[in-house]
Structure 1
Amino acid sequence: MKFWSFLRALVPIALLATEASAYADPGACSGQCWSHDPSVVKRTSDGVYFRFETGSLIGIWKASALTGPWVYQGAAIPKGSIINLTGKDDLWAPDVQKVGDNYILYYTVSSFGSQNSAIGYATSTTMEYGSWTDHGATGVASDSSKTYNAIDANLISDTSGNYYLNFGSFWGDIYQVKMNSAGTASSGTPYQIAFNSTGSQALEGSYMYYRSGYYYLMFSSGICCGYNTALPAQGEEYKVFVCRSTSVSGPFVDKAGKSCTTQNGGTLLLSSHGNIYGGGGQGMYADSSHGTVFYYHYADKTVGLADANYKFGWNVVTWTSGWPSI
């Protein structure tokens, strides 16, 4: 879960970004649509959808369509992680990707405001409740001696079939590390791929998507949570930005050509609009029924702004001159 937005997003300094003039409302969702940091996967064998969430030891929801009805199945890792760190019984930020015949679920073990963090993984051939085996550490971990925080993992493969793990939140923002051929263990030293030098609107929850020669790096920024307790100043709430590169490891730039590592670059992809507030914790995938789908969690002002009321949102992406919009 992206908690660090509480700690340093205290000064109303916005990222330099290209503002979008309008957004489509989220697509329909029926059944159990509560959400935080969703990861959505469409099973290749039968087209069944699975949604994984922060909380409930990585909760699993299942549906016959992206629109639902979504039905809760249970916890992916019901006994907690075998990684012996504070937070092993409260797992965050799932990312599920298919590698070979296995689905790999990456998760975070950490605690509020701590840099003592680790990214673990579990595997399944079906994604069904009760089918997941926890394998523990990927080797991506952090403590106060590091320049990064090892949370919010996302796996990407390049066009040569090499695997990389993107991760990070606050401290040095977004990092990347090369993984082994199975995508289960780090095989190099992490390096920074996105950074906001102002320190007040730090980056987290990255997700990378490949399309037509470009790697699109999306990340959330702003105050993520607690809106019912203290509503942020306008524009300081969670939102999503995007940068791109022809290389999986960068350098990444925004639509205006600004560096996303040295110039606080980032093109705005999603911000609050109408009753849709504080969207983030995003992902993107190619759906055989809908096209490119962008998904996220958000607060609905008509329902309530408490974390427990966050909802699952999704939109079909429009591509213009090589850039996504919703």
Structure 2
Amino acid sequence: MKLKYLLILSVSIIAVSLAGCTKDEIAPTGIKTKEPGTTTDYTAPTYADDYSAIASWSDRSQWNLANVHDPSVVFDGTYYYMYSTDASYGNAHVGHGHFLARRSRDLVHWDFIGMAMSTEPAWVKDTLNNMRARVGLSPIDSPRYGFWAPVIRKVGNNYRMYYSVVVDNYIKTGKVNTADNFDGSWTEKAFIGMMETSDLSSNQWVDHGMVVCSVSDRGTDWSRSSLNDWSAYFKYNAIDPSMIVTPEGENWLIYGSWHSGIVAIQLNPDTGLPLHKFDINDESTWGTRIYTRSDGSRWQASEGPEIMYNAETGYYYLFLAYDELSVAYNTRVCRARSIRGPYYSYDGSTASGSDCFPIITHPYKFNNHSGWVGFSHCCVFKDETNNQWYYCSQARLPANTNGNAYSNAIMMGHVRKIEWTEDGWPVVLPERYAAVPQDAIAESDLTGSWEVITLNYQYKKQQTSSAMTLSLDHKATGAVTGTWSYNSTTGILTVGSLKLNVVRELDWEASPRVPTIVFTGLNGSGRSVWGKKSQS
């Protein structure tokens, strides 16, 4: 059963009739601005958050970061390339290939360059039906596929893309997954494949076939009692790949969604395929489970793993998307000294088997904007020229934004800077990256009114902002209280017991959009605390 597929499909199909809705009413004017206290002129991005008016395929040259879901980003020395899931408002992408591709020189302005895959690989259907034949099942003549969550990495001189293909047909009869067709069985397995190229600008790829597929420890007992049975036939769900080359040169694939959790399997660096032969009948070849949200459940609500290593801290960081994707999606992080774990939560406890912290994204809302929901399934990447790390994922508008009942199908790509706490945890900025000039911030720049949001976990509920004032006498009142101080050398604002990283970024909620000052940090329980200085 692929819950993600049902959610993506339902919100995108229903939005077809509204692909020409009104643009976001808070779109900026595009005039040059200058933040008070700075000397640098700056022009803010002008694209609207509600892109429904330009959602059609014929308008794809205007998309920028519109229609982004489950992105992955890599830099080739000239451009950042982004690849993402087959998902778009109104299903605009359907019939044009698979895995939306775009590129950018500055991470702000993105050009759509087409689809990375022209048609489904023949090996998927052949492999599926060969596996079905071995257990006495009839072939599926026309499988219904979903193409999800690619990850792109440079390995040697080539770029490898690991991608997910789900088969949305029932195992027993092979019928398409609908309530009317339910035959008392689970839906078929998913596959992770790999293709590579030496030149991203060519968009020409060589496919190397299957890497892994969904696996079950229940033999031929694929029975499902009802559509409300969540006991999951497959132990591991072969979607949502991430990949890493360790400092020692080992290659690892990290994957998994819901079911029994997240798996790590070692790859052959030369081929990009499993180092040891993958066998669906031999559990010892399936990899090592490195995380599950619930030990006792095969339907634990975590997915979208992203793995990275920070040489400055010496930790591997595992980013996870929690809960359903349309509204509740939120991002958690745990860390380990070894790629296979154990991974630890913010409080030092073992992460696997429970909810882990910190929370670094969550549905939220600043004033003067609808805010964002469904904000997770990230990629993480670094600008090697300055060691700046970035977070990138989709976020969705809430339903009924601008009077559009289907606005939750609007999925915008969010690129944001990552800052690091003093004890080595990543935190995400409260505003999207917009190449705002980083003029020095003085203590006097911080006095005045702020909006503050604490990312407390509440299922499907946006966290909203509250007012805080930093006064000239170093008192903080409102949402956060206590004495405040600022270290201009480290860029750390201390308010009471909170230590907050302070940078300049764009106020995306203002009209027109203008630069401001923001902060991000963690409270004692591992919840992110976001702040944005209010416009005077």
Q: CA deviation at 1:266?
A: 3.2
Tell me whether 1:73 sits opposite 2:161 in the alignment: no
Instruction: Report whether the alignment pairs 1:142 with 2:214.
Output: yes
2:269 counterpart residue number: 181
Which stretch shifts more, 259-268 or 156-165? 259-268
Normalised to the residue count of structure 2, the TM-score between the two structures is 0.51
1:206 and 1:217 in contact (8 A); partners too: yes
Aligned to 2:24: none
In structure 2, the CA distance between the partners of 1:76 and 1:87, relative to structure 1 (3 Å rule), is farther
Which amino acid counterpart does residue 266 of structure 1 have in structure 2? Answer: F
Instruction: Provide the residue aligned with 2:192 in structure 1.
Output: 119
Aligned mate of 2:334, from 238, 243, 254: 243
Q: 1:247 is aligned with what amino acid?
A: S
**C-alpha contact 1:177 1:191 (8 A) present in aligned 2:** yes
Q: Distance in 2 between matches of 1:180 and 1:244?
A: 24
Residue deviations 1:103-151 (CA, integer Å, cap 9, x gap): 001100113574501110111112135311222211x111443521111
Q: Deviation of residue 88 (structure 1)?
A: 7.7
The answer on 1:194 being equivalent to 2:307 is no
**Rg: which structure is higher?**
2
Following the alignment from structure 1 to structure 2, what is the Cα–Cα distance between the partners of residues 129 and 253? Answer: 41
Q: Confirm whether residue 322 of structure 1 aligns to residue 322 of structure 2.
A: no
Shift of 1:306: 4.4
Aligned-residue CA RMSD in angstroms?
2.5
Which residue matches 1:50? Answer: 81
Moved more, 261-270 or 114-123: 261-270
CA contact (8 A) 1:74 1:129 kept: no
Tell me which amino acid in the other structure corresponds to 1:292. Answer: W
Q: How does 1:138-177 map to 2 (within 5 A)?
A: 138=211, 140-145=212-217, 146-177=234-265
Query: In 1, are the aligned partners of 2:167 and 2:187 still within 8 Å (CA)?
Result: yes
For 2:309, the equivalent position in structure 1 comes to 210
Greater mean alpha carbon deviation, residues 33-42 or residues 190-199: 190-199
Q: State how far apart, in whole Å, the 1-side matches of 2:148 and 2:46 are.
A: 23
Greater shift in the superposed pair: 279-288 or 297-306: 297-306
* Structure 2 Cα separation of the partners of residues 28 and 109 of structure 1: 35
Q: 1:282 to 1:196 in 2, by over 3 A?
A: same
2:350 aligned with 1:259:
yes
- TM-score normalised to structure 1 length: 0.82
- The answer to whether the Cα contact below 8 Å between 1:6 and 1:224 also exists between their aligned partners in 2 is no
Q: Using CA pairs below 8 Å that are at least 6 residues apart, which structure has the higher relative contact order?
A: 1
Give the residue type in structure 1 aligned to 2:260: G
Deviations 1:14-71 (A, max 9, x none): xxxxxxxxxxxxx968542121111111212x2x121111114111112222001x22
Whole-Å Cα distance in 1 between the matches of residues 302 and 148 of structure 2?
A: 17
Change in Cα spacing, 1:256 to 1:141, as seen in structure 2 (3 Å) is same
Structure 2 vs 1, CA of residues 283 and 81 (structure 1 numbering), >3 Å: closer, same or farther?
same
Q: CA deviation at 1:183?
A: 5.8
Q: Per the alignment, do residues 313 and 285 of structure 1 end up closer, same or farther by CA in structure 2, a change over 3 Å counting? A: same
Question: Which of residues 62, 69, 81 in structure 2 aligns to 1:36?
Answer: 69
Q: What is the aligned-residue identity percentage? A: 26
Higher helix proportion (structure 1 or 2): 2
